[in-house]
Structure 1
Amino acid sequence: MFLAWGKELCFLYNDAYVEILGAKHPWALGRRFQEIWSEIWQDLLPLIDKALAGEAVYHENLPLTMHRHGYDEPVWFTFSYSPVRDDNGTIAGMYCACVETTEQVLAEAYRNEENERFRTLFEQAPGFMAILRGKNYVFDLTNQAYSQLVGHRDILGKPAREALPEVVEQGFIALLDHVYTTGQTYVGHAMPVELQREPNGPLEKRFLDFVYQPIRDARGVVTGIFAEGSDVTERKQAEEELRQLAADLSKANQRQSEFLATLAHELRNPLAPIRTGLDLMRVSADNPASTVRIREMMDRQLDHLVHLVDDLLDVARISTGKIEPKKARVLLKDIVLSAVETTLPGIQAKNQDFSVHIPDEPIWLIADANRLAQVIGNVLTNARKYTPDNGKIDLSVRRKSDEVVIVVADNGIGIPADSLPHIFDIFTQVGHDSSHAQGGLGIGLSLVKRLIEKHSGTVHAFSAGPGQGATFTIRLPIAPAEAEPSTAAKVDDNAMPVEQRPMRILIADDNQDAADLLKEMLEIQGHMVRIANDGMSALELAKTFLPDMALLDIGMPVMDGYKLAMAIRQAPQLRSTRLAAITGWGAKEDRDRTREAGFDYHLTKPVSFEALKGLLRDVQSAEQVPAGKRNGS
């Protein structure tokens, strides 16, 4: 038996296990499991993983190829793996009780091989089998599986060299000679062989697991060879696919690690000036001009933070199918100009030559205008980032049959050929080295691809190489000609503004700083405000304060925002109180849940001053609607 302990699975064993180790004892004592049995590590790793996950494993006569006496040798073991826990109950290692069954297995195999001479059982065997007699290895008997493997050729009574001439130079005849001469069994694992399985056809590569077993007469003299095995081509292909998958997962993990590091960097970028701004405001409170500049800077940095979080949430929602474009009949020109308006300040800041070419004819799409503007904006932002100052960016739109083609081309740093296939993968960044580092999370182009696919379109990237610029081409289907433009609801500019009156407002939030700031914002507008820091306290306060409006955080202790909203709705004296959820969760299912809990409104953090004012205007203008029947914001 042995014990593999600790993170490195260091080896401790008893005297009986010394014989199994062979020449590896005493070197093996205290060394890592993987280091001691590196030749069989991949065979044992799945079983080890199960034991370390808390599952006891038992195997009987598991075949392995060990290197313990200076050469590889096939061996068999019956053993069990069991998890071993430390004093805290945590799995810290594994225990193995084992017995080598090599001799028993080989003896049983020999008996089975002899029994296989019964033609019926032999013929029905799923693996291929053949009996070769004499030094010329004449085919004495084969089963259906062997005949299928070699292409149903007439090989019985023929020497191996004549029956299968294509394998002579592939080393198999030499293996037969070795087995016949030495009397040693040969075991092949996933060995490649090229066979002509069709008359006059090409050679077909297959992979075989097989055994060449010497056949002995009563005196122990080798008189032939028994060949048995399986065509494992499909398994080999699956293993290759798994290896490729593992490599892909490793790359994805590396990209994710790089992303997390980048995310930390990108979050620090706006947080640093915000922190500095707060310090400056403390020391320059008597300088209004400085305070205004600092506040504007902090607003910009906060907008940048919100944009980062929105991008992350968009990727997550699209990946899980939780976001669908809100499509309508829209004019492409308006979408393009909206994207240009958003990105133009950054382009102008780098003094880049920016040209836009849009055809005069109206091009209509069935699309989500906001999402497509986001797509084009992301591609333009990408071009701006990786194009140097005074560089050139060109945006062109053209109609081609029943689709529209949008092209963004630049003369920037370009894209290496090996990066092009992964350019739309999440967490991938162009020009990741420090000389070209431009910030960002590596999710912008991933968003582009996913949103374009949501619109039944395609996006393609091309670059002639580093320093040769890049071109991104978006193709989208054009709206059918017979469809009429939808009439969107318009804001009545002549509507009378709602005159705001002071309101009684309850804030329930376990974040004291956030609650205090929100209270201050509301009191500036003339409202009476009370604060509670958990759901139960908020409910008791509401019953005496009788607020017109309650702003409830969702994740509070004692009683969360959902339960609090339902409790308020059940209180007779609070039936007229409007409820707004203030939360960091803003997906459709989150809004559905707050609506079901009785909320009238749903605000996503961070809540701006303007959004709060707009909410209160909405509340006062909709007071004729019963509480608990809205939740449309």
Structure 2
Amino acid sequence: MSFFWGPDYLYFYNDTYARILGDHHPAALARPFWESWEHLREGFTPILAEAQAGRACTLTDLRFTVVRNGVPETTYFSYALYPVFGADGEVVGILNPATDSTAAVVSNRRREFQLRLGDLIRSLTDPGDVIAGASALLGEFLDVDRVVYLTVDDEGRAGSIERDWTSGRLPSMAGAAVDLDDFGAFAVEGAHAGRPLVVSDVAADPRCAPHAGAYEAIGVRAVLAVPLMKNGRLHVLLNAHDSRVHRWTNAQLGMVEDMLERTWAAVESVRAQAELRRERDQSEYLFDNMAEGFALLDSEWRILRMNAEGLRLTHQTLAGVIGRSHWDLWPDLVGTPVEKLYRQVRDERQSGMIDIPYTLPCGDIWMEVRAYPALESGLALFFRDVTARKVADEKLREADRRKDEFLAMLAHELRNPLAPISAAAELLQLGKVDEARVRQTSQIIGRQVRHMTSLVDDLLDVSRVTRGLAELDMQPLDMHRIVTDAVEQVTPLIRNRRHHLALELPPDAPLVMGDRNRLVQVFANLLNNAAKYTPEGGHIGLRTEVRPGGVVFHVTDTGIGMAPELAARAFDLFTQAERSSDRSLGGLGLGLALVKSLVHLHGGTVTCASPGLGQGSTFTVSLPRLAAEEGGGAKAPVEEPAPPSGGGALRMMVVDDNVDAASILAMLLETAGHDVIVEYDAREALALSGIGHWDVFVLDIGLPGMDGNELAQRLRAQPATAGATLIAVTGYGQESDRAQTKAAGFDHHLVKPVDIDDLFAILARIGERG
């Protein structure tokens, strides 16, 4: 998250955003935006102008070059620009949340590379063409200057280059002989051990220094070399060369490994196919040392030959397959796309490929099968286990899905508490509110703010959500209070639409074991859903049944109802369907999917039923009941007490450039009897600090011009304020932030939103010390 402030777009950002800036950080902080991104001015100015004009905009997967530790990296980001308006309605700043989408873009590019590579090598029949085509494709995707497919001799000390690819910035090495020792023992030993060689900058890598001449002779500044080992011997060394410094990524290493394995297999397959067309008497050595299974079928589908790898993959013996019909051995493949592919290849004399699920005694795997036409209307089959690739692809899709689900949950969960806060704020503005109502309203605001803070703390842990983990704060709960809190959240909407809300609660409060915030969220979502889809003046009900093993809640409405097909998938994430002819309602979306997930996490169930369109809906939630003795005699929470007194009167200065935040804090402190001065500028605060005696300074850290840490250091340096208590109030709460404020001279570090009880307790201790 970053923020551009004022006409110069002064640049503020959080710790995560600092990684986007790379070497621009920390110099970019609180400086004009263009000082860091001058090279983007031409393309980015119109976008900023849109936001400055008051119109939000969103951009997806934009490519940026970020310099980190002096090395440029290609990255991708999705971000939005939201105008922030001042009190006069003018745009005073731009909020810029950004998400690093590099991993998703790179994974998509890797999948695209794999698909294009597969399409390419399937269409080629000459080994040299396979190597050249695959090298060109790899060079394009890696954005390097040269790709070299080096075939290593039997001794493993030298190699030859039949074909390569270059971008034009480096010369071709095709036809050259290469002595591996010229590039260092570390490179040779690593290759024979099957380890990739990764050098981002030859000039800066001490391993390369003794062999600088060899690298210079071929124009290499960065090199990535991946060995191919078969039967314990080095066969191929695939090299990606760049004339520039190049920070190699794991994704790029994966692309090279993909290309090498598949190109090797394709080259071997093409060579084997050519050999089959030239003569029938094949070399057993060739087949038994292939990296994948091979079978040769005649025109009657009888198996003439199968190599050792093929027998291993299919869990067969040579005596058990030779001479037998393919369809007798594997009758479950009859009538499947596999049979269709085989017949098509045999009839049309064109190769084909298919991935199929295959069941072995040890479990299910995925097999990649490539079929080629053989002599006398026969077939040559090549097959290998690609389960790992399939699993990796599925994990990528699942990661993308979880990312989208997380972002949806984040937006949805943060909105619910805003309704009671907004209503409470409007009530306080009416002016004629008695003290009891003010206390009740402030408790509502405080409760909802704490709820939002808790949600933010939970949802910021993105890695936990993307791994499918969810931590609940389980404790015995009074369901009467849960229902009451949920009703409190949706009451503004219900009143606005003039609904009649009927609550039927049993006299004895049933107990459940659960997470209070999450269960409030469940029932608030259901009630909000009912209010949203019930016409004005309609009826909404929440009825509770206490059963021996559980507590059942029925949320009913007289709304527009649902068709059977919509009711069946009402809880699916992102379900979008019309519940009436009014398209503005949009259909069921995120809320119900969230309800289902949370209820299941509590060991319960939730169902939906509707007699049909126009006849209302009923949502039923069932939760395991907690016996009274299990709950340890848990009772309903009591009303929250009013904030404690702040102790003896103190002379204080509050310094914060956020006028609203400073003003409301000052009012709270004055209410507690303290003498409070408010300043919005650090330099003016420093000038005023020399006048009179001061007990406490409450300082925001993110002040413009001079930040709170520097102001604290100057206050400590002044004799008049050296003994004052300094309290930091900031949105940064990591250990590194606390260490910085402590080093600057602060006595206390409070994280926004400030817990007033904690602040008053600190002031009380100061007052007691006199």
TM, length-normalised to structure 2 = 0.49
Q: Which residue of 1 aligns with 2:508?
A: 361
The 5 A counterparts of 1:152-231 are 154-157=320-323, 170-171=339-340, 174-175=343-344, 177-178=346-347, 186-190=350-354, 208-212=368-372, 214=374, 222=375, 225=378, 227-231=380-384
2: CA distance, partners of 1:356 / 1:616:
39
| SS of the residue 1:623 aligns to | helix
Alignment-mate amino acid for residue 551 of structure 2: V
Q: Which residue of 1 aligns with 2:604?
A: 458
Instruction: Go from structure 1 to structure 2 and tell me whether the alpha carbon gap of 1:466 and 1:225 turns closer, same or farther (over 3 Å shift).
Output: same
How far 1:187 sits from its partner (Å)? 2.2
Alignment-mate amino acid for residue 462 of structure 1: C
Q: Which residue of 2 aligns with 1:119?
A: 284
Whether 2:307 is the aligned partner of 1:140: answer: no
The 5 A counterparts of 1:529-544 are 529-531=677-679, 533-534=681-682, 542=689
Identical aligned pairs, as a percentage?
Answer: 22
Q: Which residue of 2 aligns with 1:21?
A: none
Instruction: Give the total of aligned pairs.
Output: 519
The 5 A counterparts of 1:199-278 are 208-212=368-372, 214=374, 222=375, 225=378, 227-231=380-384, 234=387, 238=391, 241=394, 245=398, 248=401
Q: 1:58 aligns with which of 147, 161, 166?
A: 147
Instruction: Go from structure 1 to structure 2 and tell me whether the alpha carbon gap of 1:330 and 1:507 turns closer, same or farther (over 3 Å shift).
Output: same
Give me the CA root mean square deviation.
6.7
2: CA distance, partners of 1:483 / 1:385:
35
Q: Which residue of 1 aligns with 2:456?
A: 313
Q: 2:621 aligns with which of 462, 473, 477?
A: 473
Instruction: Go from structure 1 to structure 2 and tell me whether the alpha carbon gap of 1:472 and 1:143 turns closer, same or farther (over 3 Å shift).
Output: same
Q: Which residue of 1 aligns with 2:165?
A: 79
Q: Which residue of 2 aligns with 1:31?
A: none
| SS of the residue 1:335 aligns to | helix
Q: Which residue of 2 aligns with 1:390?
A: 537
* 1:134-183: CA deviation from partner (whole Å, max 9, x where unpaired): x657543322444454965844245778877887873466456547xxxx
Alignment-mate amino acid for residue 141 of structure 1: R
Alignment-mate amino acid for residue 209 of structure 1: V
Instruction: Go from structure 1 to structure 2 and tell me whether the alpha carbon gap of 1:621 and 1:367 turns closer, same or farther (over 3 Å shift).
Output: farther
The 5 A counterparts of 1:31-50 are 40=116
For the 8 Å contact 1:506–1:529, the answer to whether it is kept is yes
2: CA distance, partners of 1:263 / 1:496:
26
Structure 2 stretches lacking a partner, 5+ long: 1-42, 44-60, 64-112, 121-133, 151-161, 168-239, 244-262, 433-441
How far 1:364 sits from its partner (Å)? 2.8
| SS of the residue 2:486 aligns to | helix
Q: Which residue of 2 aligns with 1:554?
A: 701
Say which is worse superposed, 119-128 or 389-398, in terms of deviation.
119-128
For the 8 Å contact 1:58–1:80, the answer to whether it is kept is yes
Q: Which residue of 2 aligns with 1:604?
A: 752
| SS of the residue 2:560 aligns to | coil
How far 1:210 sits from its partner (Å)? 1.9
1: CA distance, partners of 2:138 / 2:692:
59
1: CA distance, partners of 2:396 / 2:636:
53
Instruction: Go from structure 1 to structure 2 and tell me whether the alpha carbon gap of 1:364 and 1:580 turns closer, same or farther (over 3 Å shift).
Output: farther
Alignment-mate amino acid for residue 360 of structure 1: P
How far 1:408 sits from its partner (Å)? 1.9
For the 8 Å contact 1:402–1:477, the answer to whether it is kept is yes
2: CA distance, partners of 1:125 / 1:443:
51
How far 1:581 sits from its partner (Å)? 4.3
Instruction: Go from structure 1 to structure 2 and tell me whether the alpha carbon gap of 1:388 and 1:574 turns closer, same or farther (over 3 Å shift).
Output: same
For the 8 Å contact 2:147–2:166, the answer to whether it is kept is yes
Q: Which residue of 1 aligns with 2:191?
A: none
Instruction: Go from structure 1 to structure 2 and tell me whether the alpha carbon gap of 1:554 and 1:165 turns closer, same or farther (over 3 Å shift).
Output: closer
Bigger CA radius of gyration: 1
Q: Which residue of 1 aligns with 2:550?
A: 403
1: CA distance, partners of 2:637 / 2:694:
33
* 1:65-110: CA deviation from partner (whole Å, max 9, x where unpaired): xxxxxxxxxxx9853569999xxxxxxxxxxxxxx99x99898445
How far 1:230 sits from its partner (Å)? 0.8
Q: Which residue of 2 aligns with 1:72?
A: none
Whether 2:712 is the aligned partner of 1:623: answer: no
Q: Which residue of 2 aligns with 1:527?
A: 675
Q: Which residue of 2 aligns with 1:69?
A: none
| SS of the residue 2:459 aligns to | helix
For the 8 Å contact 2:139–2:147, the answer to whether it is kept is no
The 5 A counterparts of 1:381-530 are 381-414=528-561, 417=565, 421=569, 423=571, 425=573, 435=582, 437=584, 448=595, 456-458=602-604, 460-464=606-610, 466-467=613-614, 468-478=616-626, 481-485=629-633, 503-511=650-658, 515=662, 527-530=675-678
Instruction: Go from structure 1 to structure 2 and tell me whether the alpha carbon gap of 1:598 and 1:531 turns closer, same or farther (over 3 Å shift).
Output: same
* 1:251-296: CA deviation from partner (whole Å, max 9, x where unpaired): 769x869979x999x99xx99xx9xxxxxx9xxxxx999xxxxxxx
1: CA distance, partners of 2:684 / 2:640:
42
